[in-house]
Amino acid sequence: MGATNCPETPRQKMIGMMYLVYLALLALNVSKDILDAFNVVDDTLTKSNISVTAAINSKYAALEADTTAKAKIAQEAANQLKAYSTELIDYVQGLRIDMIKYVDGEANVEQVLKETGGSIPVKDIEGKDDFDKPTYFMLEENAPNHRAKQLREKIEAYKSNILTLLPKNKEGKISPDVLEKAKKDIGLDLEGPFYNAEGATEDWENHNFNHLVTAGSVILLSKIIGEIRTAENVVLQAITTGLETKELAFDQAVGRAIPKSQIVFSGSKYESDIVVAAFSSTEAIDVYYMMGKDSLTQNDIPNAQHLAGTGGQVHLELPAGGTGSQKFAGLIKIKGTDGEDKYFPFKDTYQVIQPSATIAADKMNVLYAGIPNPVSVAGSVDANTLSVSISGCTLKSTGVGHYDVTVPTSLIGKKVTASVTAKTGDGSKSMGSTEFRVKKVPDPTSYLGANIWGGKRSKSELMANPFISARMGEDFAYDLKWTINSYRVTFITKGIEGAPKACSGGAFSADVKSAIQSAGAGTVIIFSDIKASSIAGPRTLRDITIRIK
């Protein structure tokens, strides 16, 4: 806010904005929440890949146990398929580890590998929000033969190799229909078309790895591993078609929701893939779900929403309405090997938040010592759960998300850190911090009356403004009140300086008024040693010199 006697200028408004700098924590919080969502996706992909790998290995084992002549031919192709798949997956896993080492440092990663038994989840990556290092690692180092290009070439070779393993007809050739279906089903699309944020086409390498945070890049590599397993399963299914092995359909499955993001802006929509991990890609599935549920039973199915799908998954879209925490639960129905329907439960939660952004002047984050500094804090969680602390300072709540911060004068010239935490079910969670510089409140300017700063003045002007005042400059963001405690007045007549008159308070004393009335033209009047005080402390203000005209 500006001085009460002056209109608020654009500069004042800009300076006032710095006291809302805490709103920048919203952006930080959202960013952190999104990184936390990456943890969930990474964990989901890892578990899903483990389940699918186990199921595929079960198929290999069942095929190996088949001693028929037809099975022997399939076993040779299956062994080659397994070798191709293992080689490429080992390469992608190595690429994932090497990227994390490049971002976090080899020594740090080796320590994590020891602690986790050879894996590095996203939550343990220090530089998970780094954009530059993963981009350089995948697209710029060793350019033009960069790692993303090498990965693409290896995937192309893998697709070409595994397609040669498809069953052949009596003429020793792969049926065109079988080949086209396999090409479609194995996925691993490298041709696109792919589009950037502006709608322009781009190649696979840049589409997937250009300016993507570390968390997203390593999850993308995990996704590629999952796609390799899917391609392996498609070809293995084709290789084993017609064999009477007992274990070609999976006898166990896990229902899992894989959201694109668990942070959803109001007005957009929540999107998630409901996946049956480790289940045949040729089987149809039915999904039933209800909002606001923690679990769903078969008795709830008549009242539930229904989705149908194939290939082990369906796509779920939910409109994002009111803000806050949302949840849903459901059942996945599949046909078991015994012909009976099997049901697998799933559930998930997500947050709907309002989109917002804050622009703050980075070099103007200042708190003034000795006075209440208004600050605000906001986040994607309920503001009632947020609390602020600043070491050495006093905070007074003025409403939900609003505080007055008083900084002691002993911290002038130093920096203080404001930390925000949110109450959670298991304690509290850090939401971020902001650093402020502590400055002394600048001196106010002294005036006679409201606006007389000095110069040639008539006696009538002085008598119409018979007091001394003080106020802050227009650039100061607070309407800080000052009280004049005392001052001295010296009259200089024709070069002769009279005895100073000491006055209490800010008003002209009767003696000063009489002397002004008696002063002739050219008399110099000096108001000096002006003492003022406010909640910011005592100050001695500038002298005011007047010449009677």
pLDDT digits (tens, 9 = 90+) for 223-247: 888 889 888 988 888 888 766 444 3
**Three-state DSSP class for 262?**
coil
Distances (CA, A) of 318 to 301, 352, 354, 367: 18, 11, 16, 44
User: CA-to-CA distance for 261 and 320, rounded, in angstroms?
Assistant: 12
**Three-state DSSP class for 485?**
strand
Q: Find the helix or strand (DSSP H, E) in which 381 lies.
A: none
Burial of 346 (0-12, 13-18, 19+ CB in 10 A): buried
Topology given in CATH for the domain delimited by 365-439: Immunoglobulin-like (2.60.40)
User: CA-to-CA distance for 23 and 400, rounded, in angstroms?
Assistant: 13
Greatest mean pLDDT range, 57-61, 126-130, 429-433, 435-439: 435-439
**Which residue reads 């002056």 in tokens?**
6
Task: Copy the structure tokens of residue 181.
Answer: 């279906």
Q: Give 202's strand partners.
A: 194
Tens digit of each residue's pLDDT (9 = 90 or more) over 19-30: 343 334 333 443
Tens digit of each residue's pLDDT (9 = 90 or more) over 387-427: 889 999 999 999 888 899 999 999 999 999 999 887 765 56
Cβ atoms of 16 and 477 within 8 Å: the answer is yes
* pLDDT for 325 beyond 90: no
Q: Give 309's strand partners.
A: 285
Give the residue, 45 or 377, on which the prediction is more confident: 377
DSSP annotation of 507 reads B
**How much helix, strand and coil, in percent to the nearest 5, is found in the chain?**
35, 30, 30
Task: Copy the structure tokens of residue 175.
Answer: 């049926």
Distance of CA 509 to the CA centre of its chain: 63
* pLDDT for 48 beyond 90: no
Q: What HEC string does 71-137 produce? A: HHHHHHHHHHHHHHHHHHHHHHHHHHHHHHHHHHCHHHHHHHHHHHCCCCCHHHCCCCCCCHHHHHH
Tens digit of each residue's pLDDT (9 = 90 or more) over 483-510: 999 999 999 999 999 999 999 999 999 9
pLDDT above 90 as % of the chain: 32
Tens digit of each residue's pLDDT (9 = 90 or more) over 342-397: 788 888 877 676 654 444 545 578 999 999 999 888 765 667 778 889 999 999 99
**For the residues 451-470, what does the mean pLDDT come to?**
94
Instruction: Answer whether 0.75 is exceeded by the pTM.
Output: no
pLDDT for residue 24: 40
Task: Copy the structure tokens of residue 197.
Answer: 């944020």
- Every domain range in the chain assigned CATH 2.60.40: 365-439
Tens digit of each residue's pLDDT (9 = 90 or more) over 72-106: 778 888 899 999 999 999 999 889 888 888 888 87
For 255, half-sphere exposure in the C-beta direction (CA atoms, 13 angstrom radius) is 22
User: What is the overall mean pLDDT for the chain?
Assistant: 80
Tens digit of each residue's pLDDT (9 = 90 or more) over 97-153: 888 888 888 777 777 777 766 677 777 788 878 878 888 888 888 888 898 899 999
User: CA-to-CA distance for 20 and 381, rounded, in angstroms?
Assistant: 18
pLDDT for residue 421: 85
Crossing angle of helices 69-104/24-65, nearest 10°?
160
pLDDT for residue 200: 86
